[in-house]
Amino acid sequence: MEFTAEQIAGLLNGQIEGNPNVKINTLAKIEEGAEGAISFLANPKYTHYIYTTKASLVIVNKDLVLTAPVSATLVRVESAEAAFAKLLEMYNQVKLNKSGISKQAYISEKAKTGNNIYAGEFAVISDNARIGNNVKIYPQVFIGENVVIGDNTTLFAGVKIYSETQIGQNCIIHSGTVIGSDGFRFDPRNHQKIPQIGNVIIEDDVELGANCTIDRATLGSTILRKGVKFDNLIHIAHNVEVGEHTYIAAGTCIAGSAKIGKNCMISGQVAIIGHITVADNTVVTAQSGISKSIIKPGEILMGSPAFDINKYRKTYVHFRNLDAIVDRLEKLEKKG
């Protein structure tokens, strides 16, 4: 793909300074720019690179004041960061705009597929699956029986979706993620597995990172509500419900039947035990352990077991000084 500075300025509603005909065919960071690349400058810490970058075109804020000549053509916009994000989104849409069904894909005669779907090599769509319009199914994806997938959803290579799963519109599932595998439930008295006959429901606009596992419910459904965003390597156990627009970072595990509220921010390597409730707008810092229900919305929690972050920080001062405190106590006891 190749564009001129003038075309890009038109897309971004920006003002050109320099050569409007300079040609752009790649994207780059400003410090790594080369001829033919477009970059952006938003963070003041990187301003010095505007004078040395080899990029052919740089998007900058309208109010940027130059103190020396620059060789790159500039496009001035209200927000360089927002404008570059818009370009990245457009670039990604073009790059991922795949269509057609590979001869090496398998689609059951009993499955129903919408218009303009893509199915890559060795993708499998099983009996009675229903696939919406503009769905992208990359190579080696497995879609089980009775699965429903909404319009404009993308399943990257190697995703495995067990039977009965329901996935909404505009979702993105990254490589290696498994949806609908059995929940981890056994009877410890006789060591027998308890059958897991529920399903997983994923609502619209959800994105799951690579190598996540979302277990099916024992009965009923494991549910990820609208707008949920997961990083990589996250485990969601049976019958968990994650509320709308909650974000979870890598390595977090949520045990069975926990209920996570809306708009929560859960950092990496957090563990949440089962059968508890986490209130809306809760923030949990990295490597924390949630061992009881969080009732008050909007709390920021830290530690294991986690409690209010301000109390944790005050307490941590004493943790670090514990040896000195013990020494003082021992000396006082000897004096006594």
Enzyme catalytic residues:
238
Distance CA 242, CA 240 (A): 7
Do residue 243 and residue 144 come from a single domain?
A: yes
pLDDT of residue 183: 93
CB 135 within 8 Å of CB 119: no
* Residue range 212-233, pLDDT digits in tens: 999 999 999 999 999 999 999 9
pLDDT of residue 250: 98
Name the domain count of the chain: 2
Do residue 59 and residue 159 come from a single domain?
A: no
pLDDT tier, 262 (very low <50, low <70, confident <90, very high otherwise) = very high
Indicate whether 334 belongs to any domain.
Answer: no
Do residue 212 and residue 295 come from a single domain?
A: yes
Residue 33 has pLDDT above 70, yes or no: yes
Do residue 90 and residue 108 come from a single domain?
A: no
| Boundary (domain end) residue, out of 95, 125, 158 | 95
Give mean pLDDT, residues 92-111: 92
Residue 85 has pLDDT above 70, yes or no: yes
Residue 140 has pLDDT above 90, yes or no: yes
pLDDT of residue 230: 98
Tokens 């020396």 appear where? 68
pLDDT of residue 325: 82
Do residue 58 and residue 117 come from a single domain?
A: no
Indicate whether 320 belongs to any domain.
Answer: no
pLDDT of residue 290: 96
pLDDT tier, 331 (very low <50, low <70, confident <90, very high otherwise) = confident
Least confident of 67-71, 151-155, 302-306: 302-306
Distance CA 312, CA 306 (A): 8
Q: What is the mean pLDDT of the chain?
A: 94
CB 200 within 8 Å of CB 218: no
Tell me the residue range of the domain where 62 lies. 3-95
pTM: 0.85
Residue 109 has pLDDT above 80, yes or no: yes
DSSP 250-272: TT-EE-TT-EE-TT-EE-TT-EE
| Boundary (domain end) residue, out of 43, 74, 95 | 95
pLDDT tier, 318 (very low <50, low <70, confident <90, very high otherwise) = confident
**Which of these, 309, 304, 300, lies nearest to 290 by C-alpha position?**
304
Residue 139 has pLDDT above 70, yes or no: yes
Decide which of 125 and 91 is more confident: 125
pLDDT of residue 55: 96
- With a CB cutoff of 8 Å and minimum separation 6, the contacts of 133 are 114, 115, 116, 117, 151, 152
Decide which of 327 and 273 is more confident: 273
pLDDT of residue 278: 98
Which CATH number characterizes residue 86's domain? 3.40.1390.10
pLDDT of residue 162: 98
Do residue 104 and residue 47 come from a single domain?
A: no
pLDDT of residue 336: 65
